[in-house]
Amino acid sequence: MIDRPQSSEHLPYYSRYIALVPEGDVLALLESQHRATQQLLASVAPQQARHRYAAGKWSVTEVVGHLADTERIFAYRALRFARGDSTPLPGYDENAYTPAGRFDERSLGDVAAEFGAVRAATIAMFRGFPRDVLTRSGVANESPMSVRALVYIIAGHERHHVGILKERYGIGGKEPAA
């Protein structure tokens, strides 16, 4: 079990994601999320994959690409901090990364498979960390962040975006928001 991080282990902004993670085994949650999200994405019709619920918002495929990019970056931060690397890491701008990813040039299935591979690597990495490295921290985006905060942020970030896919995009049988 990976204990829930203290508020001092991350920026206050990330509390919104960590709050979405229920009590229990966060790695088991990552595994169940992986299965549920892949199943949800498999239900999306090809024409729905490019849907944007409002002008200037990401398509369904871009949301999934954003999840893969963000998880890669956060997992990389966790690896660096777990290994004792004290080099400050920069932030990143998801609003620049997502268009640069050109996700809409690919099928949703392809982007979803990439996200699945990223998630499998994330789970394997965190399972391999000795317990004592989970409270190690480093600096990312000019703020301290612990290894265990990163796994909770990864889980909560996915829950946040899957909720948006359901509520605003109408994925999974819900009517999209007007």
Q: What is the pLDDT of residues 21-46, one digit of tens each?
A: 999 999 999 999 999 999 999 999 99
| pLDDT score for 174 | 58
Query: Rounded to the nearest 5 degrees, what angle is found at the Cα of 130, between the Cα atoms of 4 and 91?
Result: 60
- In 3D, which of 162, 171, 168 has the Cα closest to residue 67? 162
| pLDDT score for 177 | 53
pTM of the predicted protein model: 0.95
Q: What is the spatial distance between Cα 64 and Cα 110, in angstroms, rounded to a whole number?
A: 10
Locus of tokens 């690409």: 65
Q: What percent of the chain has pLDDT over 70?
A: 97
| Residues forming beta bridges with residue 153, ordered by sequence position | none
Query: Which are the contacts of 166, defined by CB distance < 8 A and separation ≥ 6?
Result: 40, 172, 174
Q: Can you tell me whether residue 144 is helix, strand or coil?
A: strand
Q: Which CATH architecture has domain 7-167?
A: Up-down Bundle (1.20)
Residue 98 has pLDDT above 70, yes or no: yes
Inter-residue contact 173 to 40 (CB < 8 Å):
no
